[in-house]
Amino acid sequence: MKILVGVKRVVDYNVRIQVKADGSGVATDGVKMSMNPFDEIAVEEALRIKEAGKADEVIAVTIGPKVCQEQLRTALAMGADRAIHVETDDDIQPLTGARILKALADKEEPKIVLLGKQAIDDDNNQTAQMLGALSHWPQATFASEVNIEGESAVVTREIDAGLEQLSVDLPAVISVDLRLNEPRYVKLPDIMKAKRKPIETITLGDLNVDAAASVKVLKTSTPAKRQAGIKVESVDELVTVLKEKGLI
Amino acid sequence: MSKVLVIAEHDGDQLNGSTARAVACASELGLDAVDVAVLAADGAVVADQAASLTGVSTVVLVQNPANEHAVAALLAPQIEALASDYSHVFAPSTTFGKDLMPRVAAHLGVPQISDIMRVESATVFDRPVYAGNAVVTVEAAEGIVIGTVRTASYAAVGQEGSASIETRELSVELPSHTRYVGLQTSGGSDRPDLQAAAKVVSGGRGVGSEENFSVIYKLADKLGAGVGASRAAVDAGFIPNDHQVGQTGKIIAPELYMAFGISGAIQHLAGIKDAGTIVAVNKDADAPIFEVADYGLVGDLFEVIDELEKAL
Amino acid sequence: MERESMEFDVVIVGAGPAGLSAACKLMQLAQEKDQELMVCVIEKGSEVGAHILSGAVLEPTAMNELFPDWKEKGAPLKTAVKGDDVYYLTNEKKGIKTPNFLVPKPMHNEGNYIVSMANVCRWLAEQAEALGVEIFPGFTASEVLFNDDGSVKGILTGDMGVAEDGSEKDGYMPGMELLAKQTIFAEGCRGHLGKQLMETFNLRDHVDPQHYGIGIKEIWSIEPEKHQEGLVVHTAGWPLDNHTEGGGFLYHMENNQVALGFIIALNYSNPHLSPFDEMQRWKLNPKISQYLEGGERIGYGARAVNKGGFQSVPKLSFPGGLLIGCDAGFLNGAKIKGNHTAMKTGMLAAETIIESIMAGDVASKELGLMDEKYKTSWVYDELHKTRNFGPALHKFGTLIGGSFAWLDQNIFAGKLPFTWHNTTPDHDTLKSANECEAPHYPKPDGKITFDKLSSVFLSSTNHEEDQPCHLKLTDPSIPIKHNLPLYDEPAQRYCPAGVYEVITDEDGQKKFQINGQNCVHCKTCDIKDPTQNITWVTPEGGGGPNYSNM
């Protein structure tokens, strides 16, 4: 059984982002880039499934410019067996990303596609669900526990109401949440070994997918700062205003 | 005629409050009608609740035993069938809407706009990116607009509506590959999870000690709130670090955030900037937390909590 | 405990200008001589450049030698210095422009480039990797490993996944031994291993103590009409008094950005002095604020620099290893530049190792050739010429000392036949708190001046929460028992990241609080603590600031 894991290169979560003065986006020059933290959890989960003897191969895939291979190398160093780089300089939106993953899934025939629930740059939270729809596969989003049982998986999902369990037939798409696992530290020898693992580079043309952006970003701006409110003089006054707003 | 369909979130008995917020956003589109879809096993009660939302024209009720639980793979094809009458389909950007709507969008072959926080026109929206540290203004593609609504950005509409309820039979084949197993709710006697809680009571170094934190827990339990803390309180050993709110802790967006004895370092504020209403209680009138608080009260936090408990 | 190990020919600790230049030069020479060479560089920052903080105006001398074709190769040296203003600030409101001929020669910047050293290092790392060097960011060198005969055999990388109480967390990964024939230490100023090595091998015998400064830097995005790409501004004088050495800089980089900062010598005597607040109020002088008004601060960081210069350079070789760059201390205080000398000494180390390999076995040997090479290099000449610059400022204050510096450099070209010494280490210079007046620092205005925590926020610093504190107190009672009454615990003020606090608990007891997560790895505490009670050790790899374009 194969597991396909999506890996996206994003601005590192520690970095305070800067919106460019001309509104054309967020500054990324000289900024630390990393694997999307949710994707790291997805890679870790794939490896754990493999290490539990329930999968034979973990394939990491990324979509983006050449530099994204750095993140594939990280996935390989963590333990992925091989990697696919869909190379493009275009801005890839979730629907396109899902179409690309669908094309790859058709080719590789994995039983599970593991994705982060969202990328911490555009925060869309769409790709896994879209891939589920396009492939007519089940989806289990926001996973905090994954149990593979033969031809199905029981997934615990972190939803607003609590923890929901779904049973899905394989193949399925699973998007992972923060509490699923703690990704491993990468070992130095594995980083060196990762440099020798294969990365297959393919183009959108090879997959017959059109990259055209469909949602147009008109401008990027800095969010409005919160304004100071009022000072209340007493607890009674506080209770009154909070009750008026229906907050207590 | 352009109309928007808002997909109702509910648990079978009760319409979720997020629906009324999504309706508020949908009402700003300036379209001919705002309809609400209730997909349920037995949805009469919820449909009635939806019909009372101000501004709603029609409630579309789809009843099917398969809809007993909200399973995206089962709901999506039904919404796809309903969508043909609409120019827009929205849902709240809760885990319900986030799970469901991209599946609908992909079925329809269109992109989705996630977390709409401002409507500029029927096709131009603001949405947050980079955890709310930037905002993008986006224009939807041609065709039906699928969107989720950031609930913290909209106040719920009132309940002065009287929409008609229209029951629809859909002949859609539903997949059998996804089965609901169960739900373990986070309600009950358990304190709600910090990240999911609608209310959060938080303490800082001003609380003074681990023992004193019990007053924070007590107030939280009284309010049904989650418990948070500033890094200073965590570093001082008053409370475990999984309660830490802020840049390196949890980033939360409760409807009500009450900060006691928290000075409001920028690292902490980064974690609460999306909160609905911020209440701050601090001895120091110059504490930076007051610069972002909707309601500030200068005073001794223990006295304030004491009075608050009596008032509740 | 049995640890995994890896063997290399050369292990380099630190991917800064010195370490990366050494790595590149090693591979270049090895290729020339047709030698197989395994070289690895380990770097505690989460990526190369993440912990690099420098002004910086780069003198391209060493770069020209290392990569004569650096322009074609796309090195990020893009902004040539076009103007060179020096101001003497007389007070909060006023500053006098110093006529060009009165400026000491080493402070002239024709032919130099305004750069982000972090980006130069990222570029050097690409070159090194292309030459076959293994670079491992996110790994610390926590300990030096010794052979039975006392020679250095390599380093131990830090354990990952250790909880605050020292227990092993899930996913715990023990450190690995990286073994090498020669280990090059290039940790930068006040490297924690370099410090131990100098002690173990008595490398500082017969030299002056190292002297330091703390540099605090910000990056601003300013209004385009105020931006003059290539303009370099230096200031002396206010807000420092005549007994405190230091000064400010403001460099106009590309993209309407300026890098600005303030350096204060760590031999200051007033324990109430706060370098951070001096830097903040310095920006209020119109000579500086004229550029900043209407702009936005986008970056913040701090780093200690060594400024002992010629008289403080230690012995560079010891059995099994070499010290290079700021780990040894080659900053030219008169030029306020150390990147070119750091790079050059890295290259000298590479030449030393390759020439010694060609002559025989180098494993755990002491390569005295390094010290010879230094003494015949332009680094030595340069530091020798400017050797009296720092001590003059120290001896006579900035006004008279500055005049001497001008005479010494512009008239005598550094050839006066004497050498002044400054033998008091920087941690020994504090007067008691009640002897000194506390400076009055204005409240931050949120526009030009800011508080410490919102500044630290912009350094993007982070440390895994649950790990042992990486700032060790030899005697935990000293801050409250000794430093507080005597010096009002100066750590509260010299730390530019708000790591140290004295807090009063419920019962009125004072407590010394260390917020290790805020640390930006500047090392000032390790240098300035009056009883040398604070030791900076490496936190879990990848922790610390994440500087962009610093």
In DSSP notation, C253-265 reads -STTEEEEEEEEE
Predicted confidence at residue A157, as pLDDT, reads: 96
User: Measured between beta carbons, which residues in chain B are less than 8 angstroms from residue C462?
Assistant: 248
Architecture of domain C5-68+118-207+314-385: 3-Layer(bba) Sandwich (3.50)
User: Measured between beta carbons, which residues in chain C are less than 8 angstroms from residue B239?
Assistant: none
Q: In this complex, which of B115, B134, B141 lies closest to A19 when CB atoms are compared?
A: B134
Asked whether residue C401 carries a pLDDT value surpassing 90, the answer given is: no
Spatial contact of C153 and C144, defined as CB atoms under 8 Å apart: no
- Contact between B103 and A11 using a beta-carbon 8 Å cutoff: no
Spatial contact of A117 and A38, defined as CB atoms under 8 Å apart: yes
Mean pLDDT along residues B122-136 = 95
pLDDT in tens, A110-163: 999 999 999 999 999 999 999 999 999 999 999 999 999 999 999 999 998 889
Predicted confidence at residue C269, as pLDDT, reads: 96
Asked whether residue B189 carries a pLDDT value surpassing 60, the answer given is: no
Largest Cα separation within chain B, whole Å, is 64
**Residues from C in contact with B at Cβ < 8 Å:** 453-454, 456-457, 462, 465-466, 503, 505-506, 513, 515, 517
Helix (H, G, I), strand (E, B) or coil at A28: coil
- Contact between A189 and C170 using a beta-carbon 8 Å cutoff: no
Percent of chain C with pLDDT over 70: 99
d(CA B93, CA B110): 18
Between residues C524 and A160, the one the model is more confident about: C524
What is the chain A residue with the closest CA to C120? Answer: A30
Asked whether residue B188 carries a pLDDT value surpassing 70, the answer given is: no
Q: In this complex, which of C454, C462, C506 lies closest to B208 when CB atoms are compared?
A: C506
Mean pLDDT along residues B119-129 = 97
What superfamily in CATH does domain B199-311 come from?
Answer: TPP-binding domain (3.40.50.1220)
Asked whether residue C384 carries a pLDDT value surpassing 70, the answer given is: yes
d(CA C103, CA C91): 20
Spatial contact of B268 and B246, defined as CB atoms under 8 Å apart: yes
What are the start-end ranges of the E strands in A20-178? 33-35, 57-64, 82-87, 112-116, 139-149, 152-159, 162-169, 172-176
Spatial contact of C389 and C422, defined as CB atoms under 8 Å apart: no
d(CA C237, CA B263): 35
The overall average pLDDT reported for chain C is 94
Mean pLDDT along residues B278-293 = 92
User: Measured between beta carbons, which residues in chain A are less than 8 angstroms from residue B7?
Assistant: none
Predicted interface score ipTM higher than 0.90: yes
Q: Which helix (H) or strand (E) holds C235?
A: strand C231-237
d(CA A220, CA A27): 11
Question: Looking at B67-76, B234-243, C478-487, which range is the least confident one?
Answer: B234-243
What superfamily in CATH does domain B3-168 come from?
Answer: HUPs (3.40.50.620)
**Residue of C165, C452, C453, C518 to mutate, testing the B interface (most B Cβ within 10 Å of its Cβ):** C453
Q: In this complex, which of A124, A132, A219 lies closest to B137 when CB atoms are compared?
A: A219
Predicted confidence at residue C319, as pLDDT, reads: 98
Percent of chain B with pLDDT over 90: 79
User: Measured between beta carbons, which residues in chain B are less than 8 angstroms from residue A211?
Assistant: none
Asked whether residue B253 carries a pLDDT value surpassing 70, the answer given is: yes
Question: Looking at A33-42, B297-306, C500-509, which range is the least confident one?
Answer: C500-509
Spatial contact of B180 and B239, defined as CB atoms under 8 Å apart: no
Around Cβ C350, how many Cβ atoms within 10 Å? Answer: 28
- Contact between A94 and B112 using a beta-carbon 8 Å cutoff: yes
What is the chain C residue with the closest CA to A184? Answer: C171
User: Helix/strand/coil (H, E, C) string of B263-291?
Assistant: CCCHHHHCCCCCCCEEEEEECCCCCHHHH
Q: How far is C196 from chain B (nearest CA, A)?
A: 30
Mean pLDDT along residues B123-152 = 94
- Contact between B248 and C513 using a beta-carbon 8 Å cutoff: no
Q: Where in chain B is the domain with CATH 3.40.50.1220?
A: 199-311
Q: Is A223 touching C (CB cutoff 8 A)?
A: no
Residue C481 corresponds to which amino acid? K
The pTM score is 0.92
Backbone angles phi, psi at A159, to 5 degrees: -115, 170
Residues in chain A where the model's pLDDT stays below 50: none
Q: Where in chain B is the domain with CATH 3.40.50.620?
A: 3-168
**Beta strand pairing status for C57-58 and C113-114?**
antiparallel
* DSSP assignment of C68-104: TTTTTTT-S--EE--EEEEEEE-SSS-EEEPPGGGS-
**Beta strand pairing status for C177-185 and C321-323?**
parallel
- Contact between C47 and A14 using a beta-carbon 8 Å cutoff: no
Helix (H, G, I), strand (E, B) or coil at C339: helix
Around Cβ C251, how many Cβ atoms within 10 Å? Answer: 25
**Beta strand pairing status for C39-43 and C134-137?**
parallel
Q: A2-244 — its CATH code? A: 3.40.50.620
Around Cβ B176, how many Cβ atoms within 10 Å? Answer: 11
The overall average pLDDT reported for chain B is 93
Torsion of CA A237, A240, A245, A246, to 10 degrees: 140
Predicted confidence at residue A213, as pLDDT, reads: 72
- Touching subunits for chain C (3+ Cβ pairs under 8 A): A, B
Predicted confidence at residue C242, as pLDDT, reads: 84
Least Cα distance to A17 among C124, C546, C12 occurs for C546
pLDDT in tens, C417-439: 788 888 999 999 999 999 999 99
Positive/negative CA dihedral, A7, A135, B111, B276: negative
Least Cα distance to C128 among C64, C40, C189 occurs for C40
d(CA A125, CA B100): 11
Backbone angles phi, psi at B221, to 5 degrees: -65, -35
d(CA C40, CA B262): 46
Spatial contact of B238 and B244, defined as CB atoms under 8 Å apart: no
Q: In this complex, which of A31, A182, A183 lies closest to C548 when CB atoms are compared?
A: A31
pLDDT in tens, C226-254: 999 999 999 999 999 888 999 999 999 99
User: Measured between beta carbons, which residues in chain A are less than 8 angstroms from residue C462?
Assistant: 14
- Contact between C506 and B209 using a beta-carbon 8 Å cutoff: yes
Q: Show Cβ contacts of residue C46 under 8 Å, excluding neighbours closer than 6 positions.
A: A12, A14, A32, A34, C137, C138, C542, C543, C544, C546
Predicted confidence at residue A227, as pLDDT, reads: 84
Asked whether residue B187 carries a pLDDT value surpassing 70, the answer given is: no
Around Cβ C345, how many Cβ atoms within 10 Å? Answer: 34
Mean pLDDT along residues C333-358 = 96
Percent of chain C with pLDDT over 90: 85
Mean pLDDT along residues B56-60 = 98
Predicted confidence at residue C108, as pLDDT, reads: 84
d(CA C302, CA C212): 13
- Contact between B248 and C462 using a beta-carbon 8 Å cutoff: yes
Largest Cα separation within chain A, whole Å, is 69
Residue A52 corresponds to which amino acid? A
Predicted confidence at residue A225, as pLDDT, reads: 83
Confidence of residue C5 (pLDDT cuts 50, 70, 90): very high
User: In chain A, what is the straight-line distance between the N-terminal and C-terminal CA atoms, in Å?
Assistant: 52
User: Helix/strand/coil (H, E, C) string of chain B?
Assistant: CCEEEEECCECCCCECHHHHHHHHHHHCCCCCEEEEEEEECCCHHHHHHHHCCCCCCEEEEEECHHHHCCCHHHHHHHHHHHHCCCCEEEEECCHHHHHHHHHHHHHHCCCEEEEECEECCCCEEEEEEHHHCEEEEEECCCCCEEEEECHHHCCCCCCCCCCEEEEECCCCCCCCCEEEEEEEECCCCCCCCCCCCCEEEEECHHHCCCCCHHHHHHHHHHHCCEEEECHHHHHCCCCCHHHEECCCCECCCCCEEEEECCCCCHHHHCCCCCCCEEEEEECCCCCHHHHCCCEEEECCHHHHHHHHHHHC
Q: In this complex, which of A12, A18, A188 lies closest to C546 when CB atoms are compared?
A: A12
Residue with tokens 């290790």: C516
- Contact between B265 and C453 using a beta-carbon 8 Å cutoff: yes
Q: In what order do the strands lie in the sheet with A139-149?
A: A199-203, A82-87, A57-64, A2-6, A112-116, A172-176, A139-149, A152-159, A162-169, B178-185
Asked whether residue C549 carries a pLDDT value surpassing 70, the answer given is: yes
pLDDT in tens, B4-50: 999 999 999 999 989 999 999 999 999 999 999 999 999 999 999 99
- Contact between B177 and A98 using a beta-carbon 8 Å cutoff: no
Q: In this complex, which of A134, A140, A223 lies closest to B128 when CB atoms are compared?
A: A223
What is the distance, to the nearest Å, from the Cα of residue C448 to the centroid of all Cα atoms in its chain? 25
Q: Can the peptide bond before residue A171 be classed as cis, meaning omega within 30 degrees of 0?
A: yes
Helix (H, G, I), strand (E, B) or coil at A46: helix
Least Cα distance to C352 among C8, C26, C23, C14 occurs for C26
Predicted confidence at residue B186, as pLDDT, reads: 58
Q: How far is A71 from chain C (nearest CA, A)?
A: 13
Helix (H, G, I), strand (E, B) or coil at A211: coil
Residue A237 corresponds to which amino acid? E
Confidence of residue C100 (pLDDT cuts 50, 70, 90): confident
Helix (H, G, I), strand (E, B) or coil at C156: strand
Predicted confidence at residue C435, as pLDDT, reads: 95
Q: Is A24 touching B (CB cutoff 8 A)?
A: no
d(CA B235, CA B215): 19
Q: Which helix (H) or strand (E) holds C323?
A: strand C321-323
User: Measured between beta carbons, which residues in chain C are less than 8 angstroms from residue A182?
Assistant: 170-171
Helix (H, G, I), strand (E, B) or coil at C282: helix
Q: How far is A56 from chain B (nearest CA, A)?
A: 23
d(CA C20, CA C478): 39
d(CA A199, CA B104): 33
Which residue ranges make up each domain of chain A? 2-244
Residue C307 corresponds to which amino acid? K
